[in-house]
Amino acid sequence: MWKQSPQEKKTGPKRFGFLLLPNFSLIAFSSAIEPLRMANWVTGDECYETVLVSHDGEAVASSFGVEILVDCSLSDIPVLDAVFVCGASPIARTGNEAVIGWLRRQNRASIALGGIGTGSYLLARAGLLNNYRATIHWWDIASLKDEFPNTLVTNNLFEIDGARYTCSGGTAAMDMMLFLIGKEHGMDLAASISEQFVYERMRSSEEQQRIPLKARIGASQPKLIEAVTLMEMNIEEPLSTDDLAHHVGISRRHLERLFKKHLQTVPSKYYLDLRLEHARQLLRQSDKTILQIGLACGFSSASYFSTAYRNHYGLTPREERKREPELSPDQNTMGRSVLIRP
């Protein structure tokens, strides 16, 4: 339960603008604005104001066809603390010149800039992510890296780098907003908001998107995909490399060549990483003992589990469980009319 500190100073509300591009992701947009509304409700104060913006001030249709009424156009927008671009899905690579010029002017006015989902692409096109860490939905990571080599593209759920806030879209927008709320008002408030949404845990910026293997290597390697699927289904009782090769119907040497060529590792190392990733999730999300988690992830003893975990993550399972979320560098009237297309 959030409680206001008696030492907390009252400040004016932060005003966040959300620029909606045609075919924006409705779930990402909702995940971004709802934590701000809930911050106001939980505190009983106006911590945040939101301003919905479109290019011409007209309603904007999401990728699902739901049209959102906005507050203003680019030409009559009020002073903002930050602007978040809610990008199109799929990316709109042309026709945004006026928006790009407007974003550059916001940057010159020292306004923080954010990209939600493919909104990161538009910021990069405007040259506003040069030498910044940034992320985007896994589907577009490769193209963002290729087109904008001066942007430090990561696979993380979200990135906060100075006055640049980017996230991969979907529910990662909620994680990013909870992070910013925690920075501005404390993690207790962020946790209370998370509880209100029955959001079981707040993910940190360092957590990576899970890129489906088929998307990474294509569908032309069914044996490799089958082997990885077997690994994912056998975490508690790991299969040997020989067993994996037998089950997918190829030799051990052939399986090792596939892993080396397409995943730049060997099967045993890939399997271990999967098990340790699963263990990390359990340490952060469950109340199981460290021994129980180790056994559930295929480690025969607590000492073996602890050593493997420390070698991989640089801290022991016990230290992981004690670690607190890390922060890095922000009467509600946010209800909107919504039009549904026939």
- How much is the pLDDT for 150? 96
Highest mean pLDDT, choosing among 169-173, 279-283, 337-341? 169-173
Mean pLDDT of 52-76: 95
Q: What is the dihedral of CA 141, 142, 144, 146, to 10 degrees?
A: 160
pLDDT greater than 50 at residue 129: yes
pLDDT greater than 80 at residue 333: no
- How much is the pLDDT for 4? 59
pLDDT greater than 70 at residue 340: no
Kindly report the pTM of this predicted structure.
0.67
pLDDT class of 99 with cuts at 50, 70, 90: very high
pLDDT greater than 80 at residue 177: yes
For residue 248, give the 3-state DSSP assignment: helix
- How much is the pLDDT for 12? 81
pLDDT greater than 80 at residue 276: yes
- How much is the pLDDT for 155? 87
Mean pLDDT of 89-97: 83
Exposed e or buried b per residue across 228-259, where buried means at least 16 C-beta atoms within 10 angstroms of its C-beta: beebeebbeebbebeebbeebebeeeebbebb
- How much is the pLDDT for 9? 46
DSSP per-residue codes, 12-56: PPEEEEEEEPTTB-HHHHHHHHHHHHHHHHHHTS--EEEEEEESS
Which residue has tokens 């942007």?
151
- How much is the pLDDT for 200? 80
- How much is the pLDDT for 327? 39
- How much is the pLDDT for 143? 78
pLDDT tens for each residue of 284-331: 767 789 999 999 999 999 999 999 999 999 999 999 988 754 433 333
Q: Which residues, including other chains, have CB under 8 Å from residue 14's CB and lie 6 or more apart?
A: 47, 48, 49, 81, 82, 184, 330
Question: Over the chain, what is the mean pLDDT?
Answer: 88
pLDDT greater than 60 at residue 180: yes
Q: Which of 47-51, 92-96, 310-314 has the lowest mean pLDDT?
A: 92-96
Tokens, residue 267: 């099967």
Q: Which of 55-59, 187-191, 197-201 has the lowest mean pLDDT?
A: 197-201
DSSP per-residue codes, 79-127: --SEEEEE-BSS---SS-HHHHHHHHHHHHTT-EEEEETTHHHHHHHTT
- How much is the pLDDT for 190? 95
Mean pLDDT of 185-212: 88
